[in-house]
Amino acid sequence: MDYNSILGDRIFYSTLWSFRPTCAISEVKKNLEKVKKAHPKGNKISNYGGWQSPCMSFADIEQYPAFKSLCDELTEFIEVMSENDGSPVVVNNIDFWANENKKHDYNKTHSHATADYIAVYYPKYPEGSGSLDILRTDAGRLLTQNWGHPYNSEISLEAEEGRMYVLSGHLMHFVHPHTSDEVRQSLAFNIHVKLPPQI
Ligand SMILES: [Fe+2]
């Protein structure tokens, strides 16, 4: 073996990163209650049952300081992680919305269209919360010999209340039916990035 001849790369790379924002969960819950009060009917998109807020923009959330804080930390996190990963980007825009699932509510399989990264944060995640499953979206999904392998076809996220999860935007996903009598609350983010300015 000629070790000097070895080359390696990751192609068609997908990310699953996470961190704990410093913003207090109680403040996020207050903002969520405020937006729920302002939009009691909500939207119907991927959710079956449950409540989903209208989409909010990072540029227009002064009345929701905890949401703004989450977006600020998310921006910093993605810029640091992408630089560490060797592909630095600058966050250009973040759109986000809030969700609340009651018992038996779920979210159908979907993707977030053109978002470069997607993120999810759980202000409330009781035991029995419907888990988020992330699907491999290339032909690897057709293979049967990769069970238990790191390149498996489906990952069930072991989510933690108060943690922010960041995924590559191309990943399809769905949410299992919620089984708890307590509601499950989440915030979902679409993150659009651009290349950093050339110096
Ligand atoms: Fe989603």
Can you tell me the distance from the alpha carbon of 87 to that of 70, in angstroms, rounded to the nearest whole number?
A: 23
Contacts of 24 (CB under 8 A, 6+ apart): 66
- 111 CA from centroid of ligand 1 (Å): 6
Asked if the structure places residue 3 within a domain, the reply is no
Please give the average per-residue pLDDT across 87-98, as a whole number: 95
Q: Is residue 4 part of a domain?
A: no
Give the count of domains, the chain: 1
Percent over 90 (pLDDT), the chain:
66
Residue 58 structural domain: 14-194
**Residue 59 half-sphere exposure toward CB, CA atoms < 13 A:** 4
Tens digit of pLDDT for each residue in 14-25? 899 999 999 999
Domain-embedded: residue 5: no
CB 68 within 8 A of CB 74: no
pLDDT of residue 154: 83
Distance 42 CA to ligand 1 centre (A): 16
pTM for this model (two decimals): 0.90
Residue 2 domain-assigned? Answer: no
**Residue 143: inside a domain, yes or no?**
yes
Residue 158 confidence (pLDDT): 84
Please check whether residue 34 lies inside any domain of the structure: yes
Res 13: pLDDT: 83
In the structure, what pLDDT confidence band is assigned to residue 69 with cuts at 50, 70 and 90? very high
Does a structural domain hold residue 114? yes
Edge to edge, what strands does the sheet with 106-110 contain?
47-48, 106-110, 172-175, 132-135, 154-156
Residue 41, token pair as written in the block:
């009917």
CA–centroid distance, residue 12 to ligand 1 (Å): 20
Q: Quickly tell me which residue has 């825009």 as its tokens.
A: 93
CA distance 179 to 102: 8
Three-point CA angle 192, 112, 23, nearest 5°: 60
Q: What is the pLDDT of residues 121-159, one digit of tens each?
A: 999 999 999 899 998 877 777 776 555 565 578 889 989
Mean pLDDT computed over 171-184 = 93
CA–centroid distance, 6 to ligand 1, in Å, is 39
Write down the pLDDT at residue 145.
59
Q: Calculate how far, in angstroms, residue 110's C-alpha sits from the geometric centre of ligand 1.
A: 6
Check whether 45 has a pLDDT greater than 70: no
Average pLDDT over residues 15-39: 95
The CATH number of the domain where 70 resides is what?
A: 2.60.120.620
CA 145 to ligand 1 center in whole angstroms: 28
